């Protein structure tokens, strides 16, 4: 049984298995990674590295996309 | 940059090495639906559209996305920093935009508090420096202040975009003299950004010699946005044409158009 850690995604607390990759998290949320960008603890995460990024307790993620704006 | 007159219809402008025919840049916000957004933008003839960067709604990850209606293949996306009140927020937002779409050409705005959301020039300068150092090409929303405009140009901003009036106010050009002086002193394109309310405001901005106009609410909040988009396209073209033609002098007395000789008696 893997350990559960708490992270913050877009301001909401979320529990994930320790060591889960960012790619797995995005899949679990159901996002098309080609249309979003991710910041982890105020640093950009390059899309190509999603599978290797292991989430750590206390991580603060921002997952954004483009919307209408002026 | 202004080149030769538009008699051949070949009057283009250039920003950061990219050449455009349309001198109307439109926002993609505040429409009733994504369908209406797409129809109005198509009618405007714009080649560049501004877009905002926001958190994905995690509870509805499959909601329709702007890109599905206004494709980055058809339009140059110009990510903005709307809603950012500090330099740090603006820089983070545009780094995310670059990662999401790969675009270096961005619109920077760092805003003061409501009710005016007037440009915060201290924060704007700080963000511009950081972004330019990080390889961005920055089109910058700014106060109608020739001194600030010059500083931003000297920092390396690729376009200077003074407000006509507060964002979303529709008050038109409240300080045309300063807009004109900023244009006269700039070597990079100058665009009026914010404040345009109707077609004549856009035409007036172009008659002052601005390279282009950026607007959103004037189309999105019109009763018939698609029709207003067509009107704005015509207004920008008319204003540009009038600028290139060179208007007649102001004359504070009559000067009859018909000959004064050969009158019947």
How do residues B72-84 score in pLDDT, each as one tens digit?
999 999 999 999 9
Q: Please tell me which residue, B260 or B110, carries the higher pLDDT value.
A: B110
CA-based radius of gyration for chain B? 20
Catalytic residues of B: 107
Residue of A nearest to B219 (CA): A70
- pTM of the predicted protein model: 0.90
Residue B2: pLDDT band with limits 50, 70, 90: very low
CA–CA dist B51, B103 (Å, integer): 12
Instruction: Please list every residue in chain B whose beta carbon sits closer than 8 Å to the beta carbon of residue A64.
Output: 53-56, 96, 100
Q: What is the pLDDT of residue B8?
A: 52
Q: CB under 8 Å to B71, separation ≥6 — which residues?
A: none
CA–CA dist B108, B114 (Å, integer): 18
Q: What is the pLDDT of residue B65?
A: 86
Q: Please tell me which residue, B102 or B51, carries the higher pLDDT value.
A: B51
B265 pLDDT higher than 50: yes
B143-189 pLDDT, tens digit each: 999 999 999 999 999 999 999 999 999 999 999 999 999 999 999 99
B4 pLDDT higher than 80: no
Q: Which of A9, A23, A21, A13 is nearest to A64 (CA)?
A: A9
């Amino acid at each position: 049984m893997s350990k559960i850690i708490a992270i913050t995604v877009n301001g909401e607390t979320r529990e994930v298995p320790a060591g889960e990759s960012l790619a797995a998290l995005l899949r679990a949320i159901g996002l098309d990674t080609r249309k979003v960008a991710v910041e982890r603890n105020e640093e950009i995460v390059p899309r190509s590295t999603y599978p290797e990024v292991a989430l750590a307790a206390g991580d603060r993620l921002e997952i954004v996309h483009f919307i209408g704006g002026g | 940059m202004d080149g030769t007159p538009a008699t051949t219809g070949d009057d283009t402008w250039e920003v950061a090495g990219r050449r455009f025919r349309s001198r109307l840049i439109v926002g993609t916000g505040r429409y009733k639906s994504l369908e209406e957004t797409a129809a109005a933008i198509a009618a405007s003839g714009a080649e560049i559209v501004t877009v905002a960067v926001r958190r994905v709604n995690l509870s509805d990850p499959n909601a329709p996305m702007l890109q599905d209606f206004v494709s980055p293949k058809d339009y140059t996306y110009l990510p903005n920093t709307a809603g950012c009140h500090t330099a740090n927020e603006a820089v983070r937002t545009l780094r995310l935009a670059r990662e999401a779409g790969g675009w270096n050409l961005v619109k920077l705005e760092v805003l003061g508090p409501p009710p005016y959301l007037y440009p915060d020039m201290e924060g704007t300068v700080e963000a511009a420096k950081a972004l330019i150092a990080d390889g961005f090409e920055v089109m910058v929303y700014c106060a109608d202040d020739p001194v600030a405009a010059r500083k931003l140009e000297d920092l390396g901003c690729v376009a200077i975009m003074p407000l006509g009036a507060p964002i979303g106010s529709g008050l038109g050009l409240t300080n045309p003299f300063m807009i004109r002086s900023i244009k006269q002193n700039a070597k990079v394109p100058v665009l009026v950004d914010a404040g345009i309310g109707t077609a004549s405001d856009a035409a007036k901005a172009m008659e002052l010699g601005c390279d282009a106009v950026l607007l959103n609410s004037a189309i999105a909040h019109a009763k018939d946005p698609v029709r207003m988009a067509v009107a704005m396209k015509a207004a920008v073209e008319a204003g540009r044409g009038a600028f290139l033609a060179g208007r007649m002098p102001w004359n504070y007395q009559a000067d009859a158009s018909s000959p004064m000789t050969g009158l019947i008696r």
